[in-house]
Structure 1
Amino acid sequence: MKTATSWKDLKEREMGGAGVAVVVDEGGIAKRFSIKFRDESIFALYSPFFVCLASGALDSDTFLHCISLDVHFLKAYARAYELAEDCADDDDDRSAIRNLRKRVVKKLRMQDKLVREWGFALPSESICDNATTKYTDFLLATASGKVEGERVSGKIATPFERTKVAAYTFGAVAPCMRLFAFISSEIQAILDPDDSNHIYKRWIDHYSSEDFEAAALQTEDIVDKLSVSLTGDELEVIEKLYHQAIKLEVEFFAAQPISQPTVVPLSRGHDLTESHLTIFCDFDLTCTAFDSSAILAEIAIITAPKEDLDGYESQLARMSSADLRKTWNVLSTQYTEEFDQCVQSITSSETVDQKFDYGSMRKALEQLADFEKRENAKVVQSGVLMGLNLEDIKLAGQRLILQDGCRRFFQNIVKNENLKTDVHVLSYCWCGDLIRSAFSSGDLNVLNVHSNELAYEKSVTTGEIVKKVESPIEKLQAFNNILKDRSREAKNLTVYIGGSVGDLLCLLEADIGILIGSSSSLRKLGDQFGVKFVPLFSGLVMKQKELAEGNSANWKPLSGILYTVTCWAEIEAFILGL
């Protein structure tokens, strides 16, 4: 059971205070687009090229091949800026665009010197590859007014049409500048500042510099200014151009020839065509945006007064909606307070350089197991789950909001015929029907669901819970029982994705445990027993270093390390890649 007085309170609590009601200032349209399409940038960051580069172990020939293609990009930028300057009708805009063009032309002239400053020498000639041509052709077509779905073509006559084309052009340039700034800053953040041996540090310093960031911001500012007078439909065109540009850039980096062994994507590094991948996943607040217990209670509160129970007498049938909500709020408040007390009792001692102690953690979590069972018994006794119609539950499941990227990840896993994969959802959820309904579309009904179930009479709940998975201990039992069926596999790799305290044991028992979100209670318990929380990208870079040094990149259970992510795109980029 995981409850809260409201969906907002629950979200804030489980996600470490970052609730759904938090308002983020997204700024102008360029910034909004960069936030909206951040997933695309993550796929570039997690590409073999950048993981190897961040580790300092990228083959130098691969690096030189990539940066030798800059000349084609720079020439395209220079021409696009020239066309955009001619289209802009404001003197300040033209001046800003002219300065950006001068910057590109200067970099083009000094490219060889700049690369030498990075510690390399460019090859004598650069052969333009298909991925480069796709982007440069797209950019120059946009700068010439040839935009799909637009009627602007031939001679661009009116000032408004000219300004619109300039806006479109910068909509196709800005994401590339932002992508480089994002990737370099992410890599810079994990580098050892005292490490002078990283051969790509100067390249990273260049693109994470204040000067480059200023150029990226100036480009975005021009997008915003040129877009002020555009209609909603025209802004949608810019959004499509922005998205297309960043996709082409990501495809460019994914296409870079990598001959060395890499840890990403996982499906390639472990040759999962030969071995079996078993993915385990929590449901509430790992897959979903809201906790299922709150959703089931809300269904009961909304539908019970109107439900025809065909003469079936129950306390719920006589209870008003207001009384139901009051009962639920009392249960939620009590659960929250007593859960905090339980975690506090487990984590009361100081943790200073605590070594990983799985045995003591498992024993401590038995206290939590007893607590969860008592709380579920209270829910049954209260009667708040009595009188729910199965069809209402299924409809709620179908409309359930999943975390961004979650459904896409599982769909791509399921439809990938080259992978021997099965997926198991392990959940405290009171109702397996709700989970199955949430995954009923897009061929996701093949996901195996292991949870509690609600008891029914004539498709109406009796208020009883058929208890199967109530605690971290029972989740682990379900986890181990599934793996017993896989024991005959020659090779089997397990990944567990979770976000709450109930997932801790399974996360640690899996070959790879991935923690999504920032549950403060899970972090407290982990710290108490010596668990290390490592950002996934940082962990992959370390693994890549080990691989380059001749060590094995094998993943092992009970390492005491959990890999943290902020979104599902990181998980998909790591496991499947582009």
Structure 2
Amino acid sequence: MLGGPGPTSVVVDEGAIARPFWIKFRSDSVLALYSPFVLCLASGDLNSNAFLHFVSQDVHFLKAFALAYELAEDCADDDDDKSGIRDLRKRVVQRLKSHDTLVREWGFELPDEKVSSDATVKYTDFLLAAASGRVQGENVPGKIATPFERTKVAAYILGAIAPCMRLYSSISREIQAVLVPADNSHIYKKWVDSYSSETFEEFALQVEDMVDKLSISLTGEELKVIEKLYYQAIKLEVEFFATQPISLQTIVPLARVLDPAERRLTIFCDFDLTCTAFDSSAILAEIAIITAPKANSDGSETQLARMSSADLRSTWGVLSTQYTEEFEQCIESIMDSRKVENFNYEGLKKALEQVAEFEKRANTRVVNSGVLKGLHLEDIKRAGQRLILQEGCRGFFQKIVKNDTLKTLVHVLSYSWCGDLIRSAFSSGDLDELKVHANELTYEESVTTGDIVMKVESPMEKLQDFNDILNECNSSGKHLTVYIGGSVGDLLCLLQADIGIVIGSSSSLRRLGDHFGVSFVPLFSGLVKKQRELVKDGSCNWKGLSGILYTVSSWAEIHAFILGS
């Protein structure tokens, strides 16, 4: 409960902007990866007519790229820049000339499809508007260059092309990762190989390098324009993939394929380090230290009968260190038992009794230390309202609770000592509908006494709450349950749920799960397998206690899987 890692930062080359933009907006690109079209493409079950329609649109894209590069070369004033852009255009023209041959090499005959889809038109019109110095886009100025500022237009053009190249490379490499290398039965493997090749990656890098080079002399405001263009291009590309016509039934997005008349969706979620970047105990510690009285010069007790800020900081440090050390000892003690070959839920459940006893001892130490005494409820609520959740978390829940058709129930199950902190964090985002199940601090006239009403103190108590809530829900019909968590305390609930999603990088959770036969499967890979099952058997059953947990690196993946774009 105590402590926890903070967010990590990404290191990029000084002066580079293309790569940082991709990192910044990558969560938006995930919506394309998890689209029904890409999932069917990855599974190898996409209808060939749908694939041919998709690749037929490449011609329109390539023609727009060729024209845009030509205009960019004309705008550039440096001979090296002109040469680099000219080389990019040659590669596009060559691809355009060999397009039909390439499609035949993939095993298909391209139909004579000259009509652009609406999504294709939106992107190509956007690109050519940028190339001519006019951009009609969200939050993008209507006129981005004057006759005296033509050189910057070349950077704008490349900034609008780069995300398209990077997205195709990223998607194809994700698909490549789920294919069996020696299996040539996947009918779209040659397409995947082409776009995940080192040759195409080199092309994408060449475009990004040119964006960086053309942007060196730009002002901060001009760089913001490129960022807006980059983001707009990502959104249009996501729309392109999302609107590709397919004839197959798919398993994504879950909210759209789930029939609420047969089964309602119920989502359970952990809070600390799942929704947040920091453990809530660290936040409470900071409130206590900041609001603590200073020690009196004569050493006498203060009016609030609280420790000084210095003593509090020292005591919190000791508690945190002791918690970390004993938690590791507890996990190591469990790992000393013999590793099982097959999934053993009951064995894991029994082993976690040691974790339950450890958590209770640690909480007792916190109460006895008095470090939670004297906190004002208003300070706690204010801290909750200012709490920054993991990127994409708040937006996901806001969209879920506003979905009147789905009518999803959302429950937060947390070890946190303070339910008021969690409720305040969600209330600031209009998420009062979320039901919070956590421990509670006790108050006297809105000031904490230092005691905690223990309600959710162990993995078993989390599981008991999970089952109690589900039993109550089942009285109104069948429910499909999704549990989202990232710590050891979530393991039992993650496995009991129909769909258990692990977010974060807890090594303890992975080690314990692996020790008792739990399989950790990347979500995209798992969905590809489920899609194949759906096509083969006509059904796809999500079922708890399968021993399979799905892993994600961000809330964007969860959003894309459940809600789509």
TM-score range, shorter chain: over 0.9
Secondary structure at the counterpart of residue 542 of structure 2: coil
How many aligned positions are there? Answer: 555
Secondary structure at the counterpart of residue 171 of structure 2: helix
C-alpha contact (below 8 Å) 1:383/1:463 kept by paired residues: yes
Q: What are the within-5 Å matches in structure 2 for residues 69-84 of structure 1?
A: 69-84=57-72
Shift of 1:306: 6.7
C-alpha contact (below 8 Å) 1:277/1:492 kept by paired residues: yes
1:180-209 Cα deviation digits (max 9, x unpaired): 011111111121101110111110110011
Shift of 1:350: 4.2
Q: Aligned match of 2:231 in 243, 265, 268? A: 243
Matched AA of 2:405 = N
In 2, Cα distance between the equivalents of 1:126 and 1:212?
Answer: 25
Q: Which residue of 1 is the match for residue 546 of structure 2?
A: 559
Secondary structure at the counterpart of residue 122 of structure 1: coil
Matched AA of 1:178 = R
Structure 1 pair 430–315 and aligned structure 2 pair: CA distance change class (3 A): farther
Q: Which residue of 2 is the match for residue 157 of structure 1?
A: 147
User: Does 2:172 align with 1:168?
Assistant: no
Shift of 1:272: 3.6
Q: Aligned match of 1:452 in 435, 439, 446? A: 439
Q: Which residue of 1 is the match for residue 102 of structure 2?
A: 114
User: Does 2:414 align with 1:427?
Assistant: yes
Q: Which residue of 2 is the match for residue 349 of structure 1?
A: 337
C-alpha contact (below 8 Å) 1:273/1:419 kept by paired residues: no
Secondary structure at the counterpart of residue 549 of structure 1: helix
Q: Aligned match of 1:491 in 468, 475, 478? A: 478
1:226-273 Cα deviation digits (max 9, x unpaired): 111111111111000000001000000000112211111111222346
Structure 1 pair 122–561 and aligned structure 2 pair: CA distance change class (3 A): same
Q: What are the within-5 Å matches in structure 2 for residues 172-251 of structure 1?
A: 172-251=160-239
1:323-351 Cα deviation digits (max 9, x unpaired): 11111111111111111111111111343
C-alpha contact (below 8 Å) 1:26/1:32 kept by paired residues: no
Q: What are the within-5 Å matches in structure 2 for residues 302-317 of structure 1?
A: 302-305=290-293, 317=305
In 1, Cα distance between the equivalents of 2:406 and 2:267?
Answer: 12
Shift of 1:318: 4.3
Structure 1 pair 556–21 and aligned structure 2 pair: CA distance change class (3 A): closer
Q: Which residue of 2 is the match for residue 398 of structure 1?
A: 385
Shift of 1:129: 1.3
Q: Which residue of 1 is the match for residue 352 of structure 2?
A: 365
Q: Which residue of 2 is the match for residue 51 of structure 1?
A: 39
Q: What are the within-5 Å matches in structure 2 for residues 436-515 of structure 1?
A: 436-515=423-502
In 2, Cα distance between the equivalents of 1:208 and 1:32?
Answer: 21
In 2, Cα distance between the equivalents of 1:152 and 1:484?
Answer: 59
In 1, Cα distance between the equivalents of 2:13 and 2:406?
Answer: 39
Q: Which residue of 1 is the match for residue 374 of structure 2?
A: 387
Structure 1 pair 101–23 and aligned structure 2 pair: CA distance change class (3 A): closer
In 2, Cα distance between the equivalents of 1:541 and 1:74?
Answer: 29
C-alpha contact (below 8 Å) 2:306/2:374 kept by paired residues: no
Shift of 1:105: 1.2
In 2, Cα distance between the equivalents of 1:26 and 1:295?
Answer: 34
In 2, Cα distance between the equivalents of 1:144 and 1:341?
Answer: 65
Matched AA of 1:129 = S
Secondary structure at the counterpart of residue 424 of structure 1: strand
Structure 1 pair 273–114 and aligned structure 2 pair: CA distance change class (3 A): farther
In 2, Cα distance between the equivalents of 1:98 and 1:273?
Answer: 58
Shift of 1:21: 5.5
Q: Which residue of 2 is the match for residue 339 of structure 1?
A: 327
In 2, Cα distance between the equivalents of 1:368 and 1:314?
Answer: 38
Shift of 1:418: 1.7
In 1, Cα distance between the equivalents of 2:211 and 2:337?
Answer: 54
Secondary structure at the counterpart of residue 146 of structure 1: coil
Shift of 1:298: 1.3
Q: What are the within-5 Å matches in structure 2 for residues 61-140 of structure 1?
A: 61-140=49-128
Matched AA of 1:145 = G
Q: Which runs of 4+ in 1 moved over 3 A?
A: 19-23, 150-153, 313-316
In 2, Cα distance between the equivalents of 1:99 and 1:496?
Answer: 50
Shift of 1:275: 2.8
In 1, Cα distance between the equivalents of 2:23 and 2:462?
Answer: 35
In 1, Cα distance between the equivalents of 2:18 and 2:518?
Answer: 39
Q: Which residue of 2 is the match for residue 526 of structure 1?
A: 513
Secondary structure at the counterpart of residue 412 of structure 2: strand
When normalised by structure 2's length, the TM-score is: 0.96
Matched AA of 2:516 = F
Shift of 1:75: 0.9
Structure 1 runs not aligned, ≥5 long: 5-9, 12-18, 308-312
In 1, Cα distance between the equivalents of 2:112 and 2:102?
Answer: 15
Q: Which residue of 2 is the match for residue 319 of structure 1?
A: 307
In 2, Cα distance between the equivalents of 1:21 and 1:255?
Answer: 34
Secondary structure at the counterpart of residue 305 of structure 1: coil
User: Does 2:281 align with 1:281?
Assistant: no
Secondary structure at the counterpart of residue 305 of structure 2: helix
1:144-193 Cα deviation digits (max 9, x unpaired): 0003415446xx532xx111111111110000000001111111112110
1:62-104 Cα deviation digits (max 9, x unpaired): 1111111111111111111111110011111111111111111
C-alpha contact (below 8 Å) 1:172/1:241 kept by paired residues: yes
1:420-460 Cα deviation digits (max 9, x unpaired): 20100000000000000100123211100000000000100
Structure 2 runs not aligned, ≥5 long: 296-300
Secondary structure at the counterpart of residue 383 of structure 2: helix
Matched AA of 1:24 = V
C-alpha contact (below 8 Å) 2:53/2:113 kept by paired residues: no
In 1, Cα distance between the equivalents of 2:84 and 2:188?
Answer: 31
In 2, Cα distance between the equivalents of 1:152 and 1:348?
Answer: 65
1:488-543 Cα deviation digits (max 9, x unpaired): 23331000000000000000010000000110111111011100000000000111
Shift of 1:373: 0.9
In 2, Cα distance between the equivalents of 1:142 and 1:23?
Answer: 29
Secondary structure at the counterpart of residue 375 of structure 2: strand
In 2, Cα distance between the equivalents of 1:413 and 1:162?
Answer: 45
In 2, Cα distance between the equivalents of 1:53 and 1:571?
Answer: 20
In 2, Cα distance between the equivalents of 1:404 and 1:152?
Answer: 30
Matched AA of 1:176 = C
Q: What is the RMSD computed on CA atoms of the aligned residues?
A: 1.6
Structure 1 pair 577–151 and aligned structure 2 pair: CA distance change class (3 A): closer
Q: Which residue of 1 is the match for residue 298 of structure 2?
A: none
Q: Aligned match of 1:413 in 400, 405, 408? A: 400
Q: Which residue of 2 is the match for residue 3 of structure 1?
A: 2
Shift of 1:552: 2.3
Matched AA of 2:433 = V
User: Does 2:43 align with 1:33?
Assistant: no
Matched AA of 1:448 = K
Matched AA of 1:157 = P
In 2, Cα distance between the equivalents of 1:361 and 1:427?
Answer: 20
Structure 1 pair 551–152 and aligned structure 2 pair: CA distance change class (3 A): closer
When normalised by structure 1's length, the TM-score is: 0.94
Secondary structure at the counterpart of residue 198 of structure 1: coil
In 2, Cα distance between the equivalents of 1:398 and 1:194?
Answer: 53
